[in-house]
A = this chain, B = another copy of it.
Amino acid sequence: NKNSNIIFGNRGMSLEEEINQSNQYYLQQGIAVIHKKPIPIQIVQVDYPQRSAAVIKEAYFKQASTTDYNGVYRGYYLDFEAKETHNKTSFPLSNFHEHQIAHMKACVDQKGICFTLIKFTATQEIFLLPAAILFDYWDNQENGRKSIPKKVIVNGGFQIKYHVTPLIPYLKSIDKIIENLCNA
């Protein structure tokens, strides 16, 4: 449907909200179990008032050592980051931290399926970019460019068109990746 982007893409939802809603659908339908990992927090002080819930009074954000999402689908371990960019022609590698890349490489070594869901906010386009392409650009950024050209993402990734149930049917692209794994 040509108008999907217009209808569903401009509600002001963040990519994470869109993914969370899609994961909820996948979970309810028994299709996959994928959750956003909670934000890691260092708790310093907790109050325990009588007759009411414990209150955290002092805590700090810790840097996430892994990625945004993980879970299981058709026997495969999935692990991915969600990233939005205002850029129109490329995706800057500065969106990633070294430890996130290291985490994804470790997961791929264990035969997990790793990827990034990238949303180009200017055009409301979402792509699933397999980790192998990200690793290529990441490992060569010292001598090369500091971003992945959109053209590479379009050609090497999978566009996820907005849909209704789920909003972002990204597991369809995972099906294709699994098919390629099985034929390899």
A residues engaging B (CB < 8 A)?
Answer: 27, 30, 32-33, 35, 37-41, 53-61, 65-66, 70-77, 79, 103, 106-107, 109-112
24 contacts between A and B (CB under 8 A): A30-B106, A33-B103, A33-B107, A38-B38, A38-B39, A38-B40, A38-B41, A39-B41, A53-B61, A55-B60, A56-B56, A56-B59, A57-B58, A70-B70, A70-B71, A71-B77, A72-B111, A72-B112, A73-B110, A74-B111, A75-B76, A75-B77, A75-B110, A75-B112
How far is A55 from B45 in the complex, measured between Cα atoms in Å? Answer: 11
* Identical chains bound together, number: 2
How far in angstroms is the closest Cβ of chain B from A48?
Answer: 11
Q: Is the CB of B72 within 8 A of A107?
A: yes
How far in angstroms is the closest Cβ of chain B from A111?
Answer: 3
Chain B neighbourhood of A71, CB < 8 A: 70, 77
Q: Is the CB of A110 within 8 A of B32?
A: yes
Q: Is the CB of A53 within 8 A of B58?
A: no
Q: Contact check: which of B53, B72, B106 meets A33 at CB < 8 Å?
A: B106
